[in-house]
Amino acid sequence: MITNFKGKTAVLTGAGSGFGLECARIGAAKGMNLVLVDVQQEALDKAEAELKAAGAKVLARKVDVSDAVQMERLAAEVKATFGAPHFVFNNAGVGAGGLIWENSVADWQWVLGVNVWGVIHGVRLFAPMMLEAAKADPDYEGHIVNTASMAGLLAPPNMGIYNVSKHAVVSLTETLYQDLALVSDQVSASLLCPFFVPTGINNSERNRPADLVSAPLTASQKIGQAMNDKAVGAGKVTAAEVAQKVFDAMASGQFYIYSHPQALGSVQVRMEDVVQGRNPTDPFAHKPELGVSLKAALRAG
């Protein structure tokens, strides 16, 4: 929990757009120091200028969160500039779809690198720093929020590489919560599981590594991209609304943060499949026309 944000420090990855930028805006309004991290220099520069104009102290760094050395350098600079952070938002993420066997080694390395290793680095580097600060100061409050997805609680077809990465973040963060509770009452964690929210993740292709850009997308990857674009574009919940939920959760000590609680019905069905030992339920049972069209599109190739 964090009961008072003023004068505290936030480290936010994926801060150039979406949830990262919206959380940075709320942090600035609450008087926080901001460490903005993104892989896109242009978006980072724009965010830095906006938040400095809003009166925040800002450290902006272009960092590939999947890179251990770059993240270690960032952590050292954060500590030297502001001391231990209070809010760490491991939020950078990329999306990718397609039939699970069609993803190349490079696809897996890219998506798991950003979505999983980015969170691992954020936790392994900042949690010890935060715990050290908590031991030194009984008034210190720290909170780590990791961005997963409803895809981390479900297993929708034709997006396996993304599902795998987000299931890992769910497991990592649930364990982090339990591990922190063993050693400190001053540092905790929350898990953000958004559904379809317009954030820019559906434009992840802009950040694909050079060796992937030249590789043509398979038919299933194109179909997955198109379906995701449509779903994200139709999203009614805004990134700003989700960012407010993140701050509310930190203030109240809430672990699970959902953008679309109504999607939990599908999670319950999946859990009942697991508990009852029955085969996975058709994910399109509530919208059979979607399943029919996806099958037809995939089988047409």
258 in active site: no
Helices (H), 137-218: 160-183, 210-213
- Residue 257 φ/ψ, nearest 5 degrees: -120, 120
Residues in Cβ contact with 93 at an 8 Å cutoff, skipping those fewer than 6 apart: 14, 114, 115, 118, 147, 149, 201, 204
SS3 string, 32-65, reads: CEEEEEECCHHHHHHHHHHHHHCCCCEEEEECCC
Q: Where are the beta strands (DSSP E) in the chain?
A: 9-13, 33-38, 58-62, 87-90, 142-147, 187-193, 256-258
CA 128 and chain centroid, separation: 21
Active-site residue, selected from the candidate residues 140, 162, 177, 258: 162
AA identity, residue 122: G
Residues tagged active-site? 162
